[in-house]
Amino acid sequence: MSAASTAPYCFVAMPFGTKDDAALGKVHFDAVYDDLLRPAVEAVGMHCIRADEEQVGGIIHRPMFERLLLCEYALVDLSLANANVYYELGIRHATRPWSTVLVFQEGFRLPFDVGPLRALPYHLGRDGKPAREHVVADRAALTEKLQHALEQSTDSPVFELTTLEPPDTRTVGGAELFRERIEATAALKERLAAAGRASDLTELRAVQADLGSLGGIDTGLAIDLLKAYLDVSAYDDVVAVVRAMPAVVRRTPFVRERLAFALNRLGEPTKAEEVLLRLIDERGKNSETYGLLGRVYKDQWNDAVIAGRRARAAGLLDKAITAYLDGFEADWRDHYPGINAVQLMHLRDPDDPLIGELLPVVRYSARLKARRQQADYWDHATLLEVAVLENDPDAAWTALAMALATDPRDWQARSTLDTLVRLRHARERTRPVPGWVHQIETELADVAGPDAS
């Protein structure tokens, strides 16, 4: 084993991605990890391991328990009172008298039970990322706190207030192989990431072959494999990976939604619908699930239109609109089901009064996301489609400029172009279409290239 691999490991328990808080606004936890937590951990000579359970709905799986128990140190972000993070902190405090460091976002009021614990605040800017004017000082303060943790001063209230003896974590099964497994997992994740960046399906399958049975590997690694196959549109492989996963992972909403997406792309809409309806029945309305269900019905509607089956097309159009509306009503902050509902309503009846009620909400939702630095093509494309529906040329040209500035792939531009063409055809049934709409279609066509269909 190399000298570097003998350095202690620090397990970081924290939320993933971007989270919204009614009082504090957005928090970009990935930026908190990259710009603040990981540099501080590495500054004291530790290896950083981040929890990945939120990718699959909060499963606490065997590798997660191993990391909680066997990592010499832990760093826990208490911001927003994430239930999974607090559960992990409980496990850590019950098994380790010292070596657990706590942090939280400045301004967040810690829950009563953890309020007395010695937690270090850090500062965020208006963009929800570590504030530039504070990040250096916050990183230095955290580095100092981590250095104190090396002194093995008791920080667990369980052991501060009782005479309990800590369990011998060396008895955890396979503890002597823990480091080797961590390093092997990191190497495989890097191979997966490289193959994904290169869209190398052959290498992705080679990595899967090296993984062996998916039932015993790190859950985060299995999810990374699933995402990589989705990114290269290898839908048969997606289905095979899901079926090979442990049942507890296979049952998570994240995995089931991806399975339904793959099944629909493979031309099995009935199976996809069954997966999604069962998921809705179990957990209630969800914008992502209903958005996928709407897409299943929308694809079937499009097929029926092409086949000239007018009655079937009309019924499927109604089902798609209903599913998208249910998704948007479940979470209006997700503009995807909202814009799809409005588009299809416009195709069914351009004068439907509900369109006028929904469009301002969809516009506001998309604008909130478009203001973020991480805004993607679809955020701006949604604003473009809203502007076309509202007959607002200035807003349309602005949204088109922002969308094209994201350097979209040709299929993304083609998708938006196809939508605008369908909307124009529906509008032409009742009123003339202004010339600027045609000009926008021409600009998109230059990016999209020839229609491969």
- At 299 the pLDDT is 96
Residue 385 has pLDDT above 60, yes or no: yes
For the chain, the average pLDDT equals 86
Q: Report residue 408: phi and psi, to 5°.
A: -70, 155
How far is residue 130's CA from residue 28's CA, in Å, rounded to a whole number?
A: 9
Q: In what order do the strands lie in the sheet with 119-122?
A: 47-50, 9-13, 73-77, 100-105, 119-122
According to the model, what pLDDT value does residue 328 have?
Answer: 96
Ordered DSSP codes for 241-253: HHHHS-HHHHTSH
User: How high is the pLDDT of residue 373?
Assistant: 54
Assign 27 to helix, strand or coil: strand
Among 33, 60, 62, residue whose Cα is nearest residue 49: 33
pLDDT, one tens digit per residue, over 127-157 is 889 999 999 999 999 999 998 887 776 677 7
**Mean pLDDT to the nearest integer, 226-238:** 91
Q: Could you tell me the two tokens for 398? A: 């602005």
pLDDT of 395-432, one tens digit each? Answer: 999 999 999 999 998 889 999 999 999 999 988 888 88
From CA 286, how far away is CA 280, in angstroms rounded?
Answer: 7
The answer to which of 126-135, 163-172, 362-371, 431-440 has the lowest mean pLDDT is 163-172
Digit-coded pLDDT (tens) for 279-290: 999 989 899 999
Query: Among 64-68, 81-85, 272-276, which is the least confidently predicted range?
Result: 64-68
Q: Is the pLDDT of residue 100 over 80?
A: yes
pTM: predicted TM-score of the whole model, two decimal places: 0.73
Q: Please compute the mean of the pLDDT values over residues 369-390 and round it to a whole number.
A: 87
CA dihedral (201, 206, 212, 218) in degrees, to 10, reads -60
pLDDT recorded at residue 5? 57
Residue 3: per-residue pLDDT? 41
Q: From 1.10.1660.10, 3.40.50.450, 3.40.47.10, 1.10.1270.20, which CATH number describes the 4-172 domain?
A: 3.40.50.450
> With helix as H, strand as E and coil as C, how does 272-286 read?
HHHHHHHHHHHHCCC
At 2, the pLDDT band (50, 70, 90 cuts) reads: very low
